[in-house]
Amino acid sequence: MEYQQLVKISKRMSKALRHEPARVGLTLDPAGWVPVTDFLAAMKIDRATLDEVVGGNDKQRFAVAVGEDGVERIRANQGHSVPVELGLAEAEPPEVLFHGTAAAALSSIQATGLNRGGRHHVHLSPDTATARRVGARRGGAIVILTVLAGEMARAGHVFYRSDNGVWLSDAVPPEFIRTG
Ligand code: HQG
């Protein structure tokens, strides 16, 4: 299938699994999973298409797994706004992490820190190239912030790493943020 078409389906899948499952008639379990057969019907796609989107996804946004009951399910690895308990394990972060955002947000972020907005956590990138890509989604001028994750962890802040390598934390207070 063509790349653009796959991206379009991936976005629909993200919306259903992270934000608006009810809109397409789905109910996520407490950990965010739905049976693959229900999901295919709700998305109106076939299994081969699903496999192509999940396997070829640039950010490994989705996980497919067989439960103890033998039922195969799918969930989004992160990025939810609906309440789900992903069961992420705490992880020790690298000394620095990065956050790419709109330059226009800088003064607000310097005043109040990074907050999670509608998501469950603040999302942090392991490298500046990834942070740049995240920031570029906004259009316009971007800024790459350095987050002193090691110092934060030693001060008692908890970090998680999603299955697709995104670092997550509840909030980043301004004193742990550097520009440039
Ligand atoms: C900003 C995509 C003003 C924050 C990406 C960000 C990522 C503040 C925006 C994932 C602020 C929230 C998450 C403050 C935070 N004042 N602005 N105090 N604190 N912000 O989309 O991190 O493709 O919820 O800088 O690749 O941009 O969906 O978060 O610009 O991994 O898989 O508020 O989403 O992944 O925006 O992106 P978002 P994000 P997917």
- CA-nearest residue for atom 7, ligand 1, is 134
Q: Is 100 in the pocket of ligand 1 (CB under 6 A)?
A: no
What is the tens place of the pLDDT at every residue in 7-58? Answer: 999 999 999 999 999 999 999 999 999 999 999 999 999 999 999 999 987 7
162 compared with 18, residue with greater pLDDT: 18
Using CA atoms, how far apart are residues 53 and 42, in angstroms rounded to an integer?
16
Tokens of 107: 């003064």
Q: What is the mean pLDDT of the chain?
A: 95
What is the tens place of the pLDDT at every residue in 78-102? Answer: 899 998 999 888 999 999 999 999 9
* Spacing, Cα 135 to ligand 1 middle (Å): 8
pLDDT the model gives residue 102: 96
Using CA atoms, how far apart are residues 90 and 92, in angstroms rounded to an integer?
7
Domains and CATH numbers, the chain: 3-76 (1.10.10.970), 97-179 (3.20.170.30)
Alpha helix locations (H) across the chain? 3-14, 36-43, 47-55, 106-112, 128-136, 149-154
pLDDT the model gives residue 152: 98
Is the pLDDT at 156 greater than 80? The verdict is yes
What is the tens place of the pLDDT at every residue in 25-35? Answer: 999 999 999 99
pLDDT the model gives residue 1: 85
Q: Is 123 in the pocket of ligand 1 (CB under 6 A)?
A: yes
Q: Is 110 in the pocket of ligand 1 (CB under 6 A)?
A: no
Q: Is 105 in the pocket of ligand 1 (CB under 6 A)?
A: yes
pLDDT the model gives residue 89: 84
The conformation of residue 24, written as its DSSP 8-state character, comes to G
Percent of the chain clearing pLDDT 70 (strictly above): 99
Using CA atoms, how far apart are residues 152 and 97, in angstroms rounded to an integer?
11
pLDDT bucket at 125, cuts 50 / 70 / 90: very high
Range name among 2-16, 51-65, 104-118, 147-161 with the lowest pLDDT average: 51-65
Using CA atoms, how far apart are residues 78 and 162, in angstroms rounded to an integer?
7
pLDDT the model gives residue 25: 97
Say whether pTM exceeds 0.75: yes
